[in-house]
Chain A
Amino acid sequence: MFGLNRVRFIARDKLSKKRSVGISLLSLLLAFLTSGVMFLFTNVDPVQAYVNLFGAFSNYALLSEAIVRAIPIMFVALGLTIAYKANFISIGGEGQIYVGGIIMTGLVIWQLDSNLIPQAVFIPIAIIMVFFGTGLWGVIPAILKAKVGVNEVLTTLMMNYVAQIFSNFLVIGPWKDPEGHGFPLSKEFPAYARLGLIPGTTINVGILLGVFAALLCYVILSKTKFGFEVKVVGGSYQAARYAGISYTKVVCLGMLMSAGFAGLAGMNILSGVTGKLRPDFSPGYGYTAIIVAWLCNLNPIISIFGSIFFGGLLVGGEVLQASMNISVGVTNVFQALMLIFTLSGEFFKRYKIVWRSD
């Protein structure tokens, strides 16, 4: 049918750098073209739309906003990079953001009551608590996979709903600010629980933590014994067993870090932006980060820039909505198209197409 049975995919023997980059660029170009068609269907001039969409990168205020958005995406993407390197396909970033937010808010509320932590070290202590607390949440699907063989895609995805809905429950119920006129918001975080701004900008210091985390991630993955074990487990589970590497240990520790970083994303949103717990406080950063991690080829350093790019797209999408009256959903479709085309591109990096003549 349609001559499709004459198409054959043959594994490439070698892949040159040039071809690899070429395929990546072509994938992005195709994503733009396809999205352009989508714009046409919504009666929008694609060129104008792209100008608006990427407007975020031409304007200082918008770029600052893009970077603020990029911080949580960056933390989650770094975490996912570790998991994906071990071939553990976690979709749990979004839920981990909420868990991080819950732990942070809990800590703040407890501190407001008890005042036990010296205020000067509250943020550092919070970082540690959020990291390890969310990390333990991330270890649950790892144990389920390693010990009982439960598919991690399903567990991590389902745990997202648990975390998000529980977070919403807390803010509507027990953690609602009694003096908040009935709004579903927690108490305002005090100044010592907030992340300050980098002087002279509107960007919170979370970006410095994010860049530091990326460097840390890079060092862990490419310089340490643990990073080597992650690569072996990700490369071949059987070879890992043969080499005496414990799958359980590697995956649990990997997910501890993965979720830990994602938890910091949640903390960053609350301490750096909103200043309080709100319902549905993450607009899907955890899912956007999946795209970033793959697009950046699981490279922590490139992920810094990938996150800023996608932060810009989110801001651009809002500009688009305001200036051209297009739904924000359009930006999501555009993002998804980029992922689809890039992943398809990955396939063509490994295989070439051959048309057989009958």
Chain B
Amino acid sequence: MEEPLIEMVNIVKTFPGIVANDHTNFTLHRGEIHALLGENGAGKTTLMNILYGIYKMDSGVIKVKGKIVNINSPKDAIRFGIGMVHQNFKLIPAHTVVENVILGSEKNRVILDLKKAAREVQALSVSYGLPINPKTEVWKLSMGERQRVEILKLLYRRVEVMILDEPTSVLTPQEKKELFSSLKEMAEAGNGIIFITHKLDEVFEISNKVTVLRKGKTVASKLTKETSKSELANLMIGRPVLFELEKKDVSKGRAVLEVVELSTAEGSGEMTLKNISFEVREGEIVGVAGIAGNGQKELVEALTGLRHVDYGKVIVLGKDLTNHSPKTFFEHGVAYIPEERFGVGAVPGLSVAENLILKAYRYSPFSNKVFIKHKEVEAFSKSLVEQFEIATTSINSPVKFLSGGNIQKVVLARELSSIKGKGAKVIIAMYPTRGLDVGATEYVRRLFLKMREAGSGVLLISEELDELLSVCDRIFVMHEGRIVGEAEAGKADVERIGLMMAGIKVS
């Protein structure tokens, strides 16, 4: 058999506190359209950024056509025939198509022959079905056309391996169809295409091979025709490995959070949340399952005052807080553990103590009208560091020097402590265990169970079904901004939830 175009073996890449690629393997052959499937944070983009020379791997081997290579920059990658189209296009809007295409290319080193280049671009665009006028300025183009320019840039450099990072996210259905037919032509010409996606439908529409990543590991690599949507969904999300967590019976009290027919829209008019209704009661943990990017972020932001609600109501402890400020929400006992703990949940450059009073600094006893009372802050921080077992050398060391798990503990300690004498009654947590090690993960889950026993209501957004099943009382499934199903955690059928997450109708 012919040598594979690309072989990536045992790739390891770590970021502070997170293992993005954990001995990941990936192989691409000529003529393949290879879908790289996985949830957000599974390590797909990181792996491809390594192949394209943007990130440096910690260890592992990359072979191009059987030869071990060292790729230190995108320039190297292009030299080895590898090109990438990023999610955010890297074009100069004021320049024309052809100027963008030739920018930085090895040809035209000394004398710039724009006319010749334009002819070449025109020829490429015709032969691969990527219609574009080379003399138009890029700012006049639609997103789909800009993507064509990015692809032409790579074709002009004669790459044989083209990496496309979630290429359909900016396209209209018509543009998507055109893109797919171009990709097929390129593959038939003997190139290899890597198609990063988390959408199962697209895998079956375009790819002939699929590799699934989960938590940085390669969990499967299959011919597309030999697999099914539900199998891929399970691979992507992972079979439940149930934690042994003691879940006491807690009587459910009144509703602490009520969401009534909630809808939101983007500036472009596209609906991101569609008519969502549910409630969370005292002593209850409600889970939201779903593949990332199906409206979870919008939901959480709408429930914490960070996003404008276009229609519907958010009621906290019986009080209508729709479209109130984030401050009003946390003053009413809504704790929020955001998705990005670094830079949103915690300010990296500020100390542990300062992060612990990030919201409460404005209230007694931490300050009076003008001044912060450092003594009170210190006593408070020390007690929280002890209570939440935060491993830090001092309450004054910057949070950025802590491990991911300890940063999350800082966020949790702050959010679950009381503000203005009010404890957290509603806890909204988004991917709270993402990137944490087993110990920290278990700590976080136990903490939620403890808050549940203490009578708080928890809304837990997670991409891990085992987490939801072991902690929650009820689980909703979100798909494309809607709630598409609901299950009692005790009687939940993993297969069924997986199918609903993939957008497949289940009776």
Contact = CB atoms under 8 A, between A and B. Distances in A.
A179 interface: no
Given A224-B372, A225-B371, A236-B343, A242 B306 contact: yes
B359 A243 contact: yes
A225 B374 CA distance: 11
B344 A239 contact: yes
Contact of B370 (A225, A232, A239, A244): A225
B358 interface: yes
B372 A225 contact: yes
Contact of B73 (A5, A11, A244): A5
A231 interface: yes
Interface in B354-373: 354, 357-359, 361-362, 367, 370-372
Nearest to A10: B56
Contacts of B362: 225
Nearest to A11: B16
Given A5-B73, A232-B350, A242 B371 contact: no
A238 B346 CA distance: 10
A239 B343 contact: yes
B498 interface: no
B195 interface: no
Q: What is the interface residue range for chain A against chain B?
A: 20 to 34
Contact of B347 (A6, A11, A232): A232
A14 interface: yes
A5 B361 contact: no
Nearest to B342: A236
B70 A358 contact: yes
Contacts of B374: 223
B343 A244 contact: no
Contacts of B357: 228
A127 to B, nearest CB: 21
A349 to B, nearest CB: 13
Nearest to B397: A14
B350 A225 contact: no
A228 B354 contact: yes
A178 to B, nearest CB: 48
A241 B340 CA distance: 13
B371 A223 contact: yes
Nearest to B358: A243
B275 to A, nearest CB: 27
Nearest to A219: B371
A358 B371 CA distance: 56
B277 to A, nearest CB: 26
B350 A244 contact: no
A5 B349 CA distance: 30
Given A8-B56, A358-B70, A239 B346 contact: yes
A113 interface: no
A225 B359 contact: no
A235 interface: yes
A314 B371 CA distance: 38
Contacts of B370: 224-226
Interface in B48-97: 56, 70, 72-73, 76
B476 interface: no
A358 B327 CA distance: 53
A14 B371 CA distance: 31
B361 A228 contact: yes
Nearest to B75: A5
Given A231-B347, A235-B349, A243-B326, 4 more contacts: A5-B72, A13-B16, A236-B343, A242-B336
7 contacts: A232-B347, A236-B348, A238-B343, A238-B344, A239-B347, A242-B336, A243-B359
Interface of B: 16, 56, 70, 72-73, 76, 306, 325-327, 330, 336, 338, 340, 343-350, 354, 357-359, 361-362, 367, 370-372, 374, 401
Interface of A: 5-6, 8, 11, 13-14, 223-228, 231-232, 235-236, 238-239, 241-244, 358
Q: Top 5 A-B pairs ranked by shortest CB distance?
A: A244-B327, A235-B347, A244-B326, A235-B349, A243-B358
